[in-house]
Structure 1
Amino acid sequence: MMVNCCGLLTSQKEPVPLKSVEVELEVRDHVAAVVSTLNYENKEDKPLEAVFVFPLPGDAAVCHFSAKIGQIQIVAEVKEKQKAREEYDDALSSGQQAFLLEESEQSPDIFSLSVGSLPPGESASIRLEYVTELAVQADEGLRFILPAVLNPRYQPQGSEGGSVQVTSVPASLVPYSLSFSARVSSPRPVSKVESNCPLDPLQYLNTEQSQATVKLAAGHKFDRDVELLIYYKDAHQPTAVVEAGQASAKPGSLMGDPVVMLSLYPEFPQAVMSSLASCGEFVFLLDRSGSMDGPRIKSARDTLLLLLKSLPMGCYFNIYSFGSSHEHIFPKSVEYSQETMEEALKKVEEMNANLGGTEILKPLKDIYSQPCIPNQPRQLFVFTDGEVGNTKEVINLVKKNSGSHRCFSFGIGEGASSALINGLAKEGGGHAQFITGTDRMQPKVMQSLRFALQPAVVDISVTWDLPKGVSVTALSPPITALFQGQRSLIYGQLTGQSSEAAEGCVTVKYSLAGHPSQNQLHFSLQPAEDTGLTVHRLAARTLIRSLEMEETERRGEQDEGVKKKKVVELSVQSGVSSAFTSFIAVNKGNGETIQGPLVRRNVPTPMMGYCMMSGPPVMMMKMSRMPGPAFHCAMSRSMASPSDEMSCDMPEITCARKAKAPSSPGFLSNMKKKRVVFKRAQSEADHLSPQSDGQHVNDASSSSANSSPQQPPRDPLLQLVFLQKASGCWVLDPALAAALGKTSEEVEKPKPASVNKEVWATILALIWLHGFKMDAQEEWELLAMKAASWLRAQNAPCVTECVDAGNSLLGCKVQKDVLGL
């Protein structure tokens, strides 16, 4: 019998009740308020339950959830999670409409929205509001991300908890549309707004250019997250906003009292900042799971090359990599030298995305089990596409070890978990960066290395000076990391009364390389107009997150219960989501019940197509709502024959062919494996070696007999970088001549007679970098500083003569002082 399906269909030919998503963004200075409207329509002849699992920014505070059916508007309430679920189930079983919004207990950037009992022909409009802080980028832009891509999260073997089913389709098959508009306002002029997606032109709303609107061009393909970068003039000014409390809330409560939000940009003394640290233990942890395949792993290898060349002499380093298992280059961190650097580079060139799943917990435990090296502060760099299911467990481990290191995290590719990447950096006292679309990884990583080379700030304290009768309760956790020019946000609840003209003062004191220092900010206690409750909700979210992250393992179930009770109370009072609460709305309506059995429809989410599957995978995210395997995938009829294997970063799986595969329990259990295995047509790829698994590996990297490093990458900049020695110098040889685009004779002939070859080679390399690669200066700046330092230590004669001769040879006009000589 042929089923007559109207409307939009998934690739499984099931109707999709979600028709469109409309997003309105309002940015005020560095805080964003977002309103998402999801429009549903049931075009089937039976009542539906639509379930949509989707990503939100990891630090978003969801503060409003409502549904409109016809002319009826139902506003949801925040309730304890189990109570909300029971109320939802009871409503559906008694034929009422109900709406449930839940945050994942494992990862705060994943939400599940259930729309229950949508009768035939009925439409519903769901309104979801959240507020979030905007992260400051290395180039001073503020980054807003609208996650569109939800990748499967790898659930480590043996981890507990149920799952909620997520249907996922390739981006091109997403059956609903997205419209997105933004309004930006700030005390300072908006200089520009950029995006990774096509935008309509920026429209200014006033002559000061401090207000503007911008829209996403029509026809978004759902193949990437929507990223907006907002630039203000004079962005690095400290600011304070005082927001009045809610009139209906009890005075003395968080929502009843005024709340202040301070945005601080510490400025460090120039004398301390002029010399970067020449010590440290640098540990690099690289994700080599299947989903890192292709350009991601190649970019990561190029980035490790730059990092290794930029490290200071006298430091220690090691490189770990992980998937389902993990590896390290050295048994423990080794001193940085020409020999250890060469050995590491050889191993890096052989690295491929061939280690299966994303088990990040075990390598982190291994790193933390190594004793710290005296007077070498540990700096951990984590590179991952962030597809882990045990996010909170990983962040807790970093937090537990935050006293012994700083953690710098990098989220690679679309759909990287913002909760994981931001959480690692926040709890590890470091800095987070996201690399999406066609972004080059190198500039962002080198920015973080510059932060890591800054002396660690210790003894950080925040003191308040307020008028008599006014007191403050800190709502933010203590500041654990300060970096030159990076923002720190502090929230405080203000209690008591003062005269209207009163002002307060906050002082941040700290010690930097043994020098006591401080920054101050004076602010008015007069509440700002028209801020709604944005600041209160962000403060509540900060407090909820701190409570959720509190360590309770050692204190037993009783304390866990106390913590949960506190979170639930705060979440209900502030109307902000948490891991222990849900939003629930029930349409009591006119008493009419909906007849007939409910049919469940899973709304598909876009996913990047790692596995080259022709049918959509169905993933299980941990939302503790439904028991089930970590991942279930129904292969479509057109899959290739079982000739070959391709590994993919996904958890334990059951695969059943739709066409002819038997679906007996025996067949399914035989298919269960630690890593997912899919079939590929070319049989010659059967047993892939590290050199032949489809990665971008240089031909020379397979010559294991040769003890010299592999041939340099083809990119001219990386080719030159590859040839630099650990000490910072270059050697005058045919490889350098080729990298400079010259013959050996052309390079050797103009060398002044009294100058040694290494000095001449190093000056030539520096002139080439300054003459031809200024657009990538942030990538090579640190290794150029190392080279200049080496040159100064040589006390070489005729440096001016060398620079003139080098400019003449290369056709440049670089001044000697620009080279740092």
Structure 2
Amino acid sequence: MKLNLTLKYMLTRNDMVSLAAGHQFDRDVELLLYYQDTHQPTAIVEAAQASAKPGSLMGDPVVMLSLYPEFPKDVMSSMTSHGEFLFVVDRSGSMECPMHLGSGSQDRIGSARDTLLLLLKSLPMGCYFNIIGFGSSYESFFSKSVEYSQKTMDEALQKVKEIRADLGGTKILQPLKHIYRQPCLPDRPPQLFLFTDGEVRNTKEVLDLVKTNAGSHRCFSFGIGEGASTALISGVAKQARGHAQFITGQDRMQPKAMQSLRFALQPAVVDISVKWNVPKEVSVTPLSPPIRVLFQGQRALLYAQLTGESSGDTKGSITVKYSLAKQPVENQLSFSLKPAEDAGCSLCCIFIGNFITQAQHKDLTATVRIRVRVEVLIYIMEAFRFQLCCPIPLDFDSPAPTSKPVRDPLLQLISLQKASGSWVLEAALAEVLAKTEEEVSKPKPAQVDQEAWATVLALVWLYGFKTEAQEEWQFLAMKAVSWIQAQKVASVSECVQAGNTLLGCQVQKDTLGL
């Protein structure tokens, strides 16, 4: 059962959802909430504190601008195979350390191997790629980037299995210089993925080098473990118009890598400008750094202090301009300078967010941890009735896993997918599906070939049993659907129905994207 609601107003404790009489709770109940006009820019003005002196920070209204862009589909589709992906992986000795201190923790280099498997399987056909391992020295899988195909993917995956934390210390400058010396491929902007668990002594020199080459190379960085330098990880992403990720505690590297891959497949947004248009009696003082990057699927926030009061006009506007795929884009948003009556004070959130942002660049967050109880967070949200507007890292203690699975069936399935997106009907696939090869082969519709049947089965299994990990396998599923459509597979509905019966699922054909 699915309940679909459109969220127009903030839900309160008094809002209720009722089920039809006689519902037996014999299946899952999913409550789906949809925001109206999700991608429209919004501006919220907060009132000043009545007890604060006018002209002071707490004594003036504050405005928050929220951007959640959606790029045109034709622009997004044109980028899917137009890229060069360079995976730069730390192979220093410390990568042998466990991901966390809980029992059953995988070592960092093992997690990196699994992540590279997932990334390689998720790349689009026609792109180019290479993998560079570094420590005291560096090694490239290929002398130069190669076109992504079944052959080159298999060759790379074989080398990934052999990766070890055996290259000594952490020296990133030389492999970066090597990468930047390589000529860029025409119409294939390079996308760097940097994975490291340490820090370097020449951080400024590294960041200067990255900044010099930011016009041609974007960089998506990953800090693994508590000891990763936030100055390096955040700085590299900031200078190269990319995105930084931190994997700490019991975080998993794979979903964060896939989020960055989703960003890397998008065209770069450049020349971003924000203009505040307010009456001449009112001045605007920015409280946050200017927006340097925009990605579809990630919210960008700007805060500003409003000083002064207009005697006449009570309206203001914001004009946001940027260039996307060499095309100019402009958004204008009008807002009232008068704060909403029910807007509470969330300046504490702004201060915390700004502090954390600055601390990351000063490498302070490696030792500063912010812990907030769930009850306190709920109280803040209910008391202020205000969307929390800053990324506060929360550490919630959770029990360590009691045992480590011998083989992850999801990774096992991923390893079996071909570069084109299809699967082969074989014993290894049947093992993932917890069936025998005969049980898997028997229900195949007569007019459907084995490869198409195997691919539909893999999709049904993913959507039927691994929806919680969908962020990790979404690109694999997209490739599989594209392959099925290109093959013009007959009786897809019959295949899906037979797959559901075999696996005990209830996945709809539309859910698969077919």
Aligning the two structures, in what range does the TM-score lie when normalised by the shorter sequence?
A: 0.7 to 0.9
Conserved? CA contact 2:46–2:345, under 8 Å: no
| 1:538 to partner: Cα distance | 8.1
Q: Output aligned runs, 1:147-226, within 5 Å.
A: none
**1:376 and 2:188 are equivalent in the alignment:** yes
Question: SS at the partner of 1:402?
Answer: coil
**1:745 and 2:448 are equivalent in the alignment:** no
Conserved? CA contact 2:60–2:306, under 8 Å: yes
Conserved? CA contact 2:284–2:305, under 8 Å: yes
The equivalent residue for 1:265 is 67
Alpha-carbon distance between aligned partners in 1 of 2:244 and 2:320, rounded to the nearest angstrom: 22
Q: Output aligned runs, 1:685-724, within 5 Å.
A: 714-724=407-417
Alpha-carbon distance between aligned partners in 2 of 1:812 and 1:338, rounded to the nearest angstrom: 31
Change in Cα spacing, 1:763 to 1:535, as seen in structure 2 (3 Å) is closer
| 1:363 to partner: Cα distance | 1.4
Instruction: Using the TM superposition, name which of 272-281 and 393-402 deviates more.
Output: 272-281
Question: SS at the partner of 2:215?
Answer: helix
The residue type paired with residue 738 of structure 1 is E
Alpha-carbon distance between aligned partners in 1 of 2:74 and 2:59, rounded to the nearest angstrom: 41
Conserved? CA contact 2:42–2:66, under 8 Å: yes
Tell which structure's C-alpha radius of gyration is larger: 1
Alpha-carbon distance between aligned partners in 2 of 1:401 and 1:256, rounded to the nearest angstrom: 41
Match of 2:466 among 773, 793, 796: 773
Change in Cα spacing, 1:387 to 1:503, as seen in structure 2 (3 Å) is same
Question: SS at the partner of 1:379?
Answer: strand
Q: Output aligned runs, 1:516-595, within 5 Å.
A: 516-525=328-337
Alpha-carbon distance between aligned partners in 1 of 2:226 and 2:82, rounded to the nearest angstrom: 35
The equivalent residue for 2:114 is 302
Change in Cα spacing, 1:240 to 1:420, as seen in structure 2 (3 Å) is farther
Conserved? CA contact 2:460–2:499, under 8 Å: yes
Change in Cα spacing, 1:256 to 1:792, as seen in structure 2 (3 Å) is closer
Change in Cα spacing, 1:239 to 1:416, as seen in structure 2 (3 Å) is farther
Change in Cα spacing, 1:522 to 1:811, as seen in structure 2 (3 Å) is same
The equivalent residue for 2:152 is 340
Question: SS at the partner of 1:383?
Answer: strand
Change in Cα spacing, 1:260 to 1:402, as seen in structure 2 (3 Å) is farther
Match of 1:330 among 130, 134, 142: 142
- Higher strand proportion: 1
Q: Output aligned runs, 1:338-737, within 5 Å.
A: 338-470=150-282, 472=284, 478-490=290-302, 498-499=310-311, 502-513=314-325, 516-525=328-337, 714-737=407-430
Larger relative contact order, structure 1 or 2 (CA cutoff 8 Å, min sep 6):
1
Match of 1:286 among 78, 84, 89: 89
Match of 2:482 among 776, 789, 792: 789
| 1:314 to partner: Cα distance | 0.8
The residue type paired with residue 69 of structure 2 is E
Alpha-carbon distance between aligned partners in 1 of 2:145 and 2:169, rounded to the nearest angstrom: 25
Question: SS at the partner of 2:110?
Answer: helix
| 1:740 to partner: Cα distance | 2.3
Percent identity at matched positions?
62
The residue type paired with residue 311 of structure 1 is L
Alpha-carbon distance between aligned partners in 1 of 2:159 and 2:169, rounded to the nearest angstrom: 21
| 1:274 to partner: Cα distance | 6.9
Change in Cα spacing, 1:331 to 1:478, as seen in structure 2 (3 Å) is farther
Cα RMSD, aligned residues only: 4.0
| 1:460 to partner: Cα distance | 2.5
| 1:311 to partner: Cα distance | 0.5
| 1:331 to partner: Cα distance | 1.4
| 1:269 to partner: Cα distance | 4.8
Unaligned runs of 5+ in 2: 1-8, 16-33, 99-106, 369-405
Conserved? CA contact 2:48–2:62, under 8 Å: no
Conserved? CA contact 2:170–2:200, under 8 Å: yes
Output one character per residue of 1:627-663: Cα deviation in whole Å (capped at 9) or x when no partner: xxxxxxxxxxxxxxxxxxxxxxxxxxxxxxxxxxxxx
| 1:507 to partner: Cα distance | 1.7
| 1:313 to partner: Cα distance | 0.4
| 1:473 to partner: Cα distance | 6.5
The residue type paired with residue 431 of structure 2 is A
Alpha-carbon distance between aligned partners in 2 of 1:532 and 1:453, rounded to the nearest angstrom: 35
Alpha-carbon distance between aligned partners in 2 of 1:531 and 1:769, rounded to the nearest angstrom: 41
Conserved? CA contact 2:134–2:167, under 8 Å: yes
Change in Cα spacing, 1:523 to 1:427, as seen in structure 2 (3 Å) is farther
Normalised TM-score (structure 2): 0.73
Alpha-carbon distance between aligned partners in 1 of 2:91 and 2:177, rounded to the nearest angstrom: 17
Change in Cα spacing, 1:258 to 1:300, as seen in structure 2 (3 Å) is same
Alpha-carbon distance between aligned partners in 1 of 2:407 and 2:42, rounded to the nearest angstrom: 44
| 1:318 to partner: Cα distance | 0.9
Alpha-carbon distance between aligned partners in 2 of 1:502 and 1:816, rounded to the nearest angstrom: 52
Alpha-carbon distance between aligned partners in 2 of 1:786 and 1:532, rounded to the nearest angstrom: 45
Normalised TM-score (structure 1): 0.47
Q: Output aligned runs, 1:20-39, within 5 Å.
A: none
Instruction: Using the TM superposition, name which of 500-509 and 342-351 deviates more.
Output: 500-509
Question: SS at the partner of 1:771?
Answer: helix
Unaligned runs of 5+ in 1: 1-186, 191-206, 210-232, 550-577, 580-604, 607-712
| 1:315 to partner: Cα distance | 0.7
- Higher helix proportion: 2
| 1:759 to partner: Cα distance | 1.1
The residue type paired with residue 90 of structure 2 is D
Output one character per residue of 1:170-228: Cα deviation in whole Å (capped at 9) or x when no partner: xxxxxxxxxxxxxxxxx9779xxxxxxxxxxxxxxxx799xxxxxxxxxxxxxxxxxxx
Output one character per residue of 1:590-621: Cα deviation in whole Å (capped at 9) or x when no partner: xxxxxxxxxxxxxxx89xxxxxxxxxxxxxxx
Conserved? CA contact 2:75–2:325, under 8 Å: no
Change in Cα spacing, 1:380 to 1:755, as seen in structure 2 (3 Å) is same
Change in Cα spacing, 1:243 to 1:268, as seen in structure 2 (3 Å) is same
Question: SS at the partner of 2:418?
Answer: coil
The equivalent residue for 1:800 is 493
The equivalent residue for 2:373 is none
Question: SS at the partner of 1:741?
Answer: coil
Question: SS at the partner of 2:413?
Answer: helix
Alpha-carbon distance between aligned partners in 1 of 2:268 and 2:74, rounded to the nearest angstrom: 11
Instruction: Using the TM superposition, name which of 345-354 and 503-512 deviates more.
Output: 503-512
Change in Cα spacing, 1:767 to 1:503, as seen in structure 2 (3 Å) is same
